[in-house]
Amino acid sequence: MILAEKRFQISVMTCAESGVLVGTSTDIPGLTLEADSRKQLLAAVSDVVPQLLAHNLKLPEDQLAECVVEVTFTDPSVEPMSDSAMAPSCPRILVEHVDPAAAPS
């Protein structure tokens, strides 16, 4: 049986006061992440998102590999990284890019 791919969005902004990256999602109930760097934020996504998908959305573990999490950095000073694969028990693809609408004119 082929399962349909499930997509989830995470938006990341830089806190003006602290400079900390803050990630939130309307697709993943309970998700709010803070990190000092992209690397730390993406590590937190890998650690936290599978648990939230399983517990808050009741997504079976065998369907996590069919999930795609798209992380959008809305701070134009954050450069995109290449796609990163996650562990097999996690969403299988992490797409990361900068929102072009947030870039200064």
Per-domain boundaries in the chain:
6-102
Contact by Cβ (8 Å): 39, 46: no
Give the span between the Cα atoms of 74 and 12, in whole angstroms.
6
- The Cα-based distances of 22 to 13, 50, 58, 66, 89 in angstroms read 5, 18, 25, 25, 24
Greatest pairwise CA separation for the chain in angstroms: 49
Query: pLDDT tier at 75 (50, 70, 90 boundaries)?
Result: low
| Domain covering 6-102 in this structure, CATH number | 3.30.2390.10
Residues 6+ apart with CB under 8 A from 88: 65
pLDDT tops 80 at residue 32: yes
Q: Note if the pTM is more than 0.85.
A: no
**What's the residue count for the chain?**
105
pLDDT tops 50 at residue 104: no
